[in-house]
Structure 1
Amino acid sequence: MMILVHYTTQEFVFNTFKASGEITYQDRIEEVKNYYERYHRTQENLFLIISFTNNSKVDYRVGKITAINDSFIFNKVAKELSNILIEELGIRNSNTYDLGVFYKVLRIENKLEFRNKNLDRYSSKIRLKYFTWKELISNNEILFKKISDIIFNKDNVIKLASTYNPDLTYSQALITKKYFSALQNIGFISEDRININHTVLHGDIGEFLMHTLVSEFIESIGDKYIYPKLIFKTSPSMAVYGNDGSIYIPEKKEIYYLEAKFYSSLNQAINKAVDSLEKHNDDLHEDMNYSAELFRNIKTNRTNELVEITDDVTEKLIIFLICDDIYKEDEVKNMIEKNSNFLELKEKFETLVFVLPILDKNDFLEFFQAQSMLEGKEYYE
């Protein structure tokens, strides 16, 4: 993503951007216009950062650029998003101003477009980085498209739902065949319209997103391994029993057992997740060495790297919940804190909770069905 940075050493210019408003001053308008015309067709968000240098100190103000008729509007963003952009550009503690150069276009390398915000030491909420909830509520298809892009990403599908081995030689045609075969086995595409009322489908969507997102947010310096159960599915209606998967971090001697739930109500999702974990509680003590070779290294994309999971690992739980009834941080945090079933589980096992608010479950499933038909069209025709 390309970001326009406007450098200034004049405080009155910096103060012009204290609040949202129309961009003025002809040279500034021309720079913003050039930036807009170059990138508005390929970027969903256009950001302008004002960088004010005062001696050795640098302050920033950040806004989104929108065009209305022949004018450009600076829409100041919240401090949280401002900090994210400044951190991702790597300019927090550096002055990138060059004498006499007042505008630069800087790049943020493509990264995961979702971020994870800790609500407390055991719960967190996942959301899109560069959009406000107001924007998403007014157009929830922005969120739905980003989620669908994760699910129909060929690399993600191959990694989570196939036996792909990067040490073997595959033609591009065979990779594509494996991709569509995996999608069909999971039930994400069908020659007929997929049944979006099928609860197994809801669970598989939850599992897929859980493995993709949570594996990014669990910190590890060294190798990190995932064991997705989706690889065992041979038909859409088939349920795979036991935990929904595992994440193993050898350097920390930690293994996480995963459970995903997708319900409209966050409270119901928590209760169902706790109930499922209690039902297969014995799985927490299963001999994971039986399937150690199936764990996939996230960095190398290889399986068959592990020969054993040591006996001295610490066992932990991860619950991944998708809901549509609440999305605000304080409401999510309060719902988790008040759930007695979760509190009881937390007394027995160290448990992390990740919540992905989806705004409208039915709307998402209908959108997903349409995306499924588009994706499957290439395979079935």
Structure 2
Amino acid sequence: MRTRLHAAVFFRAAACAFAVGLTALTVQAVPAAADEYPCGHQVGGDILAKYNELGGQGGVLGCPTSDELPTPDGRGRYNTFDGGSIYWTATTGARPVWGAIRDKWAATGWEAGKLGYPTSDELTNPDGKGKRQQFEHGTMYWHPTLSNGAHPVWGKIGELWGQYGWEGGEFGYPTSDEYTDSDYNGVRQNFSARHISLFWSAGRGEPNGTCIGECVGYEGTTDVPWVKQTKVWKALGNGDIDVMVYPTDKGFDDADTNYNQLWDQAWAAVPYPKGLTDAQGSSMYKQIACHSRYAYQWPDGSHVTGDSWDLESWRPDVSWDYAMNPVTVLIHQCNWT
């Protein structure tokens, strides 16, 4: 009995060892992504897996034009192909880049530029026509007719743009890169909807109210009868909003005949600011009514209220009598506290 037991244990142990060995041989026999040499160039690892996922030589990338190479910063690896490139890092994975987005990324300095490495494949936007690709420090957008090429969006301008719905919102697609605006002590970027530009300022100092410190905003032009331009500024420190409405000559003369129509035309160029309370909106409505009612013209052609009518969110919602009575207007001049 003892001999039979020992024999059974031996055979079981041998069978287990054989199975483990067979499993090991099986795993080693099929590497996850062994190097291949399509069109005579070495492609391997995750880059090869992504390349094959995209159809290999018959896909959008076509033949490789280089072996796998290290990026200059030592973080990543890449291969170039007839139709683009695939870049890989341990944190981003393997990501293909091609077309107008790749060209713009190259112009910004590749992975060493402000965008860093791609973190997504190219994606189709909800409109079915535009494309976007996410990078470590921003996103690149492109549309065949609306974007005027591919443009990156990032930073505070990107945050503000996102709050209004990205490319599907009220600003539309970016139509320029960010560019320096010395008047604003910051940068500006143009967008497709309503001739709008978004801006960021590090601060303009006294006496610039909302933008004494860091602020963001947007401005747009329009062709409605009473308003030619509206600018919206938002302080990043306390959230104060300042709206500057620039009337046309006709607006200076006639806008006080219909305050509702004037209010609507003030927002024809730009979207109504997000985050305003009902009380703030009511106060700003009374402010524009006051400015338009008392926009008398000086002998030199200028106006008592200046070139623009400033509507400031931090001013309290006063009564109509206080806002519009000629006696009180002499005191507050449409800028009550």
| TM norm structure 2 | 0.28
| TM norm structure 1 | 0.26
Higher helix share: 1
